Amino acid sequence: MTKRILVPIDGSPLSQRALRHALEEFPDASITVLHVVDLFEPGYGAYPDFETTYEPLMGSEEWYDRAEEVSERLFEDARELAAEYDRQVSTTSEIGDPKRIIVNFAAEEDIDHIVLGAHGRTEEERPVFGSIAEIVARRATVPVTLIR
């Protein structure tokens, strides 16, 4: 039985769809929403202005403050979606390589299942699966559901 679900989000439509899927398909599981700020592509997903606005400040206090703001906006959206299902989600953010952090987080936090969007790009840019989804699906030691 699945008890602990990890849903990585980046603000893309598919990450929202992944959260919705987890809320619907695992009504009794606890859900953790994880946002990973990629050091090399910090604006990937819903807030592309992040990278262009703050790239010169990478590593500065302002950069980290902005990363926290973006994470909090994503978490607010996730909490609102969970409330539609009369559910709550726990949230956490990390900074680094999303592929590595998602896999490691799942192992370290005793996650039973990962649900994530197949990619974070818009429909016009998208491949079938993104590199993050592909690596997570290959390296995770728990079942992974990719949402398209």
Tens of pLDDT along the chain (148 residues)?
Answer: 779 999 999 989 999 999 999 999 999 999 999 999 887 665 555 555 554 454 546 667 887 888 888 899 999 999 999 999 999 999 999 999 999 999 999 999 999 999 999 875 445 444 444 688 999 999 999 999 999 8
- Compute the radius of gyration of the chain from its Cα atoms: 15
Which structural domain, as residue segments, surrounds residue 60? 4-147
Q: How far apart (Å, rounded) are the C-alpha atoms in residues 121 and 104?
A: 23
- The total of structural domains in the chain comes to 1
Residue 101, CB-side half-sphere exposure with 13 Å CA sphere: 17
Q: In this structure, what CATH number is given to the domain that contains residue 21?
A: 3.40.50.620
Looking at the whole model, is its pTM more than 0.95? no
Q: Under DSSP, is residue 13 helix (H, G, I), strand (E, B) or coil?
A: helix
